[in-house]
Copies of this chain bind each other. A is one copy, B any other.
Amino acid sequence: MKTADPELMRAINRFHVMDAIRRFGPISRVEISDRTQLSATTVSAITAALLDDGLIITQQLGGIRDAARGRPRVMLELNPAAAHVVGVKLALDQITVATTNFRADVLSSLVLPIRLQRQSVSVIADLVEDGIRRCVADAGLAMEQISGVCVGLPGVVERMAGVCRASPIFGERDVPFAAEMTDRLGGVVATIDSDVNLVTLAEHWFGQARGLDDFLVISVELGLGLGIMHNGELFRGANGLSPDLGDLMVRPPAGNGSTRLASAASEASLVAEAREILAGEEHEHAFRLGRGLEKILELAEKGEPRILALLERAGGALGFAIANLITLFAPPKVIMAGAALEAGDALVGPIRRTVAELLPPSLADVSDIVVHHWQDDIWARGAAAMTLRDLYGAPWNTTGPVVHR
């Protein structure tokens, strides 16, 4: 915590006002005053400044005058045109880009189905740059109108430094991808973050965890992602790195070697193991085409016992890790997502059973585990939210390296 001066005081209260408008807008000044415990005078002063800066606007159409007497309330809301940002999600098999306004509404988006593996950093950066420029043009905007870009990618990302420590996307380690992109975009600042953190923020702002200050997000994609919201803040390890779920161990080194969760329950490991199990059978074709997961889901649907056993094992491993995470964080909600979870109860069932079995009695009922089917744009909306947060971010713990204005 920084030392306090009048400026910080104003920054804190301005944040609270902005937050109330974002979460509950359109909202009147009196209601902001109620919700934030700030005096009406202060709210008036702050909203006046925000209106002046163009960050918020008054809603012209009176809204619901529900038979109330007295002077009508003037409703305030975020000015969608106050800023525009671009969110990018890198996955092993595609790039997703979206342009959003200040309310994180998606104005335009595009998906580039490109295998990024084995591409050099600069080639990837080229692709991302092209995607951003096209997406911005699609939204009818010029690059000069973009206030920031955030790129989400799987792996270990150090947001502050703008460096990707390790990712399946890059062959190298310690790739300074934020600087790489900022250079190319000519004046527009780019930041990077772990992809799960983006979706965690998106869940917090618009998704199943609206207003929930503590929850976990677990994404089962090619790799495994873990996002932690704790006390309303994204949780990062001491070094600023977000923890990597795939690095968690699920089996002690008892003779036959230890197991990382990534090699027990990720989409990649599931496909690899299924391929081995089904080797030489008629299904092999699907795996060659890269349609391994679809095949797994199909066979699970049909009740193929070896696939069900595989999913049972994977679910057990995931459930083991989730139970330990619940033991540590005691979150009221755990949100899971990923294509592999579409296998109905074949994977989710074992997860739930294992968690229920392993949780200590005292924590038996604290966590609600839900599966969320993410739309393709949630990542980008999260990236947008991450950038927007910097524009009116909580002043008490500096969130990032962004140097807008």
Is A363 in contact with B9, judged by CB distance below 8 angstroms? no
Distance (whole angstroms) from the CB of A200 to the closest CB of chain B? 14
Which residues on B sit within 8 Å (CB–CB) of A5? 9
Q: Which of A63-71, A121-129, A233-241, A286-294 contacts B (4 or more CB under 8 A)?
A: A233-241
Is B3 in contact with A317, judged by CB distance below 8 angstroms? no
For residue A403, CB closer than 8 A to chain B, the reply is no
Is A329 in contact with B238, judged by CB distance below 8 angstroms? yes
Distance (whole angstroms) from the CB of A377 to the closest CB of chain B? 28
Is A252 in contact with B253, judged by CB distance below 8 angstroms? no
Which residues on B sit within 8 Å (CB–CB) of A165? 362
Which residues on B sit within 8 Å (CB–CB) of A320? 249, 252-253, 258
Distance of A396 Cα from B394 Cα, bound (Å): 13
Is A332 in contact with B238, judged by CB distance below 8 angstroms? yes
Among A38, A166, A238, chain B packs the most CB atoms within 10 A around the CB of A238
Which residues on B sit within 8 Å (CB–CB) of A328? 237, 243, 248, 328
Which residues on B sit within 8 Å (CB–CB) of A12? 1, 3-4
For residue A304, CB closer than 8 A to chain B, the reply is no
Distance (whole angstroms) from the CB of A357 to the closest CB of chain B? 6
Given contacts A249-B324, A324-B324, 17 further A-B contacts (CB under 8 A): A3-B12, A4-B4, A4-B9, A156-B362, A173-B362, A238-B329, A239-B332, A243-B329, A247-B362, A247-B363, A248-B324, A252-B316, A252-B354, A253-B316, A253-B354, A254-B316, A260-B360
Query: What are 20 of the A-B contact pairs (CB < 8 Å)?
Result: A1-B394, A2-B37, A3-B16, A8-B9, A9-B9, A165-B362, A237-B330, A237-B331, A238-B329, A238-B331, A239-B330, A239-B366, A243-B329, A247-B362, A249-B358, A251-B251, A252-B316, A252-B317, A253-B358, A328-B328
